[in-house]
Every structure is written in C-alpha cells, then in structure tokens.
Amino acid sequence: MADPTPPAFGQIEEAALAEVLTSGQLWRGNGAGWGSRHDSAADAAADSAADRLEDAFTQWLGLPYAHAVNSGTSANEAAIAGLGLEPGDEVICPAACPAFVPFAVLAAGCIPVFADVHPETLLLTPDSIERAVSDRTRAVVAVHLWGLPAPIVEIMAMARRYGWKVVEDCAQAFGTLIGGRPVGTFGDACCFSLQQSKHITSGEGGVFATADPNTYSRAVLYSSAGVPHFRFGLPIPRKPPGSIGRGHIGFGHNHRIGEMQAAVALAQLSRLDEFNRRRAELVALIELELTRRQGVPVRKLQDFPEASVSYWRYPVIVPAGRGSFQEIPYLEPAFQRMDVERRTPFGLPLPKHVTYSPGSCPQAERGAAQIRALSVHHGLTDGELLASIDATWADL
C-alpha cells in the first residue's frame, strides 16, 4: 500500500515565500520605513501576510480577533497580558505541561500555581483546580495536551462562578472539537504555537485569539512594544497633538511575527485538514496495532465521546516507571530555586501556600511515569510509524 504522506512543505509554501520577498515587505509595517503600510497610498491596498494570517485564524476559529506573534510562548504571554491581571495575581496551571505555560504567567508578573492532573490523561480536573484555589486566584490556563480536550466546559462554569479568566492553550490541539465546537473558543483567550513540531508550522511563530476587544487590544500592545497596531475596525488611539514620541502608548515586548513566517503559516493553515486526515490515519493504525498485539503491556487511554480529538501525539499507558513524559515544570531547577528563594524572577514574593516542591502534585508525577506519547506527525509513513511502535514496545 502506498503511503499517502503529504509533503511537509511544497509549492504553496514556496510561492507564499517568494511573494513576500518580491514585495520587499519583510515585516508587517511599511518596508524599510516605520509605521503602517496603510499610511502610504502605494501600499494601501496590500494587506500584510500577518494580517491575512490573522484573518484566516479568525475565520477558522469563528472568533473576531486574532494576533500573530513570533512564537507560541509569545502567544501564551499575549494571552495572559490580555487578561489585564495585576502583579501577584495567581494563575492556576496544570502540573503537567510545557514550562512555556507557567513562564508566560511569570512574565506577566503573576504567580503560577500548579493544580494536579488526571493520572491517565495529564489534563486538569475540576477537583484539583478546586484544591489549588486561594483568595488571589484570578485565572486558569487550560492546556489541551496532545490534542486531548481539557474539561473546558466544567472549567468555564467554575470560572464564571468565581470570576476567573480562562486561557486555552491550543498549541497541541489544532482542530480538536468539543461538542462540535473548536477548542480555543470556550475561554476568554486562546493561544497556538507554529513551532515546527506542531500541527502546522512556520518554524517559529504563534497566534493569539479572543472574542473580547479589550483583551485583544492589551495583548497587541504587549506584543508590539506598546504600539497600537489594532485591526478589525478597532479605533487606533492617535498621538496627542504636538507629541514628538513615536507612539508607544503602553509597555510591551517586540514579539512581532515576520512576513516570511506569516506567509508560510498561512499556507500551512490552508493545508491543516489535509494534515489532520493523515494524522487520523496514523492514529487509526496505532489503535489497530493496540488491539492486534496481544501480550504487550500497553493500554489505550479512556475515550472522549464528547470530543473529536486532533492528536498532536498519541499517548498510551505503559507499566509504572516505564513512562517518558518529562514536562512537569515544578520539577525543573528554575522553579526549585524560586521555591528556595521564595520569590519569582522579578522579586515578587511567593505566598506561603505556593510551593514548587517535588511530590506536590502526585497524580502528575504518577502519570508522567506511566505515559508514553507516540508521534503521529503527518510526515510519517506507515512504515515509520510501525517501526516506532516496535521500538517503543521493545523498550518496555
């Protein structure tokens, strides 16, 4: 049987890149000048590739506002910054997730508090979120790990009850649906990564999206060095008359995406369904092998009947101690040092109830030791996938 593996990059991406280079506009502003390309009559009609990427994301998600940035981590930071939290506010994060997630919380001057997770899915649970709550809790970051659906409906109900904001981290979940609705559209803001391991990629890159214009505006200022590059018809604050400043109306980092990244990402988004069809075939192949190979100590995860899962990687349960999940941030030296010094990198004191000591989220640690995740990257052939299954099983 021929492997229907789509080429990771092809003519669509090449044409998109060539178009950017020919245009001479390598950033979303105006050529070698400074400012909006819409300021000059010659370019007034030409939307940047970043603009078009944002428009495509809003259409794909059905959300009114999106902002493209230079990495998934930057998108996480933009999302947190967009919520308008105060220094020292606590943000609940899953105990099992890439460190980029709590780092984004720290970057906003807030304090990550880890909630334990389900030991077989590594997703947040409403019960463990409840146990992580304090009177300074202001937000939750729900991570749809591996493309699995975090219990976002339950989390939103809690958030409305307590007055929290919710960020959905969809870096690993391009196309996962819950009750037919895309993840990313339940919370107050969502973020995606375009790094090369993800469903679609421009090497590095990220996108933030929201339904709320204030959340969008704060996130754009944070990501664009405080310059109000607002789109989607939102009013752009004008400099006061006589001002000799350049127009930084707030603090921000420069997390702008370049045009070459944006153009490639846009081309890749147009191929997402093609990639996801191939990923689904690879998932079906793993599930077939799981039923076919008797006597191996590997178990399928629970089903998610309410969801259509767009797997980033395919997790399986293996014997205790044979797992290989390495992303429990509080076990990293960076958090251990904060725990000893009792402060964040910005000098903010950690409240007594916040600790980053090993053992504090036992289900996460148990889960990490019994889960392996197989790549279902759309670039894999059937043969490569079967070889990786053989290698994984042989290693147990």
Ligand X SMILES: *Cc1c(COP(=O)(O)O)cnc(C)c1O
Where on the chain is the footprint of ligand X (CB under 6 A)? 71-73, 76, 97-98, 100-101, 143, 169, 171-172, 193, 195, 206
Residue 144 CB, shortest distance to ligand X, in Å, is: 8
Q: Do residues 344 and 350 make contact, with C-beta atoms less than 8 angstroms apart?
A: yes
What does residue 191 show for φ and ψ, rounded to 5 degrees?
Answer: -140, 145
Measured from each CB, the residue nearest to ligand X is 72
Residue 324 CB, shortest distance to ligand X, in Å, is: 16
Nearer to ligand X, 98 or 329 (CB): 98
C-alpha 76/C-alpha 58 separation (Å) is 17
Nearer to ligand X, 102 or 252 (CB): 102
Residue 206 CB, shortest distance to ligand X, in Å, is: 5
Residue 40 CB, shortest distance to ligand X, in Å, is: 32
Residue linked to tokens 């990687």: 313
Please state the separation of Cα 196 from the chain's center in Å: 13
Nearer to ligand X, 170 or 286 (CB): 170
Residue 319 CB, shortest distance to ligand X, in Å, is: 26
Nearer to ligand X, 98 or 323 (CB): 98
Nearer to ligand X, 100 or 335 (CB): 100
At residue 172, the 3 state secondary structure works out as coil
Residue 367 CB, shortest distance to ligand X, in Å, is: 16
Distances (CA, A) of 305 to 64, 153, 179: 29, 14, 9
Nearer to ligand X, 37 or 378 (CB): 378
At residue 44, the 3 state secondary structure works out as coil
Nearer to ligand X, 182 or 228 (CB): 182
Instruction: Show Cβ contacts of residue 94 under 8 Å, excluding neighbours closer than 6 positions.
Output: 101, 114, 115, 117, 122, 123, 124, 141, 142, 143, 145, 150, 364
Strand order in the sheet with 137-143: 65-69, 206-210, 189-193, 165-169, 137-143, 90-94, 111-115
Beta strands 307-308 and 371-375, pairing class: unpaired
Residue 235 CB, shortest distance to ligand X, in Å, is: 31
